[in-house]
Amino acid sequence: MKTASIGQLILTGVPDKELDKETAKLFRHVQPGGFILFGRNIESPAQLRRLIDDLRNLSKVEPIITVDQEGGRVSRLRLIGNEPPNAQQLRDKDDINLIRSHGDITGRVLRLFGFNLDLCPVLDISFDDDGDNSLRGRCYGKTVDQVLRNAGAFNEAMRGQGIASCGKHFPGYSAATSDAHYQLPQIDRTREELDQNELAVFREFVEGVDSMMICHGWYPCFELEKTPASLSRRIVTNLLRNELGFDGLIMTDDLDMGAILTRYRLDDTIRLAIAAGNDLVMVCHRVPEIENVHRIMGALPREQIDRALENISRFKKKLVAPNKFSEGAFRKIDSEIWDLRVAVLGEEGAKQRSPENAKSSPVERY
Helix residue ranges, H only, 131-181 = 144-160
What 3-state class would DSSP assign to 267?
helix
Count of alpha carbons within 13 angstroms of residue 141, beta-carbon side: 21
d(CA 189, CA 356): 32
pTM of the model: 0.96
Q: What is the pLDDT of residues 324-361, one digit of tens each?
A: 999 999 999 999 999 999 999 999 999 988 775 444 45
- Asked if residue 358 is part of any domain, the answer here is no
- Asked if residue 357 is part of any domain, the answer here is no
In sequence order, the 6+-apart residues with CB closer than 8 A to the CB of 341 are: 82, 83, 84, 85, 349, 350
Pairing, β 117-118 against β 64-67: parallel
Domain CATH number, residue 142: 3.20.20.300
Q: What is the pLDDT of residues 166-186, one digit of tens each?
A: 999 999 999 998 889 999 999
- Asked if residue 70 is part of any domain, the answer here is yes
Number of domains in the chain: 1
- Asked if residue 249 is part of any domain, the answer here is yes
Give me the mean pLDDT over the 60-79 stretch: 97
State the Cα angle at 186 between 181 and 190, rounded to 5°.
140
Alpha-carbon Rg for the chain, nearest whole angstrom, is 19
Contact 320, 110 (CB under 8 A): no
Q: Give the domain range for residue 151.
A: 8-350
pLDDT at 261 over 60: yes
- Asked if residue 212 is part of any domain, the answer here is yes
d(CA 91, CA 150): 7
d(CA 44, CA 34): 22
Task: Please name which of 266, 95, 28 lies closest in space to residue 85, comparing C-alpha atoms.
Answer: 95
d(CA 3, CA 293): 12
- Asked if residue 320 is part of any domain, the answer here is yes
Report the pLDDT value the prediction gives residue 363, as an integer from 0 to 100. 58
Q: What is the pLDDT of residues 102-148, one digit of tens each?
A: 999 999 999 999 999 999 999 999 999 988 788 999 999 999 999 99
Contacts 24+ apart (CB under 8 A), 17-26: 17/41, 17/42, 17/43, 17/47, 17/51, 18/47, 18/50, 18/51, 18/54, 19/51, 19/54, 19/55, 19/58, 23/287, 24/54, 24/58, 26/287, 26/288, 26/290, 26/291
Give me the mean pLDDT over the 68-76 stretch: 97
d(CA 117, CA 307): 21
- Asked if residue 360 is part of any domain, the answer here is no
- Give per-residue burial for 338-352: e unless 16+ CB within 10 Å, then b: eebbbbbbeeeebee
Report the pLDDT value the prediction gives residue 179, as an integer from 0 to 100. 87
- Asked if residue 99 is part of any domain, the answer here is yes
CA–CA distance from 268 to each of 24, 67, 73, 351 (Å)? 27, 26, 33, 47
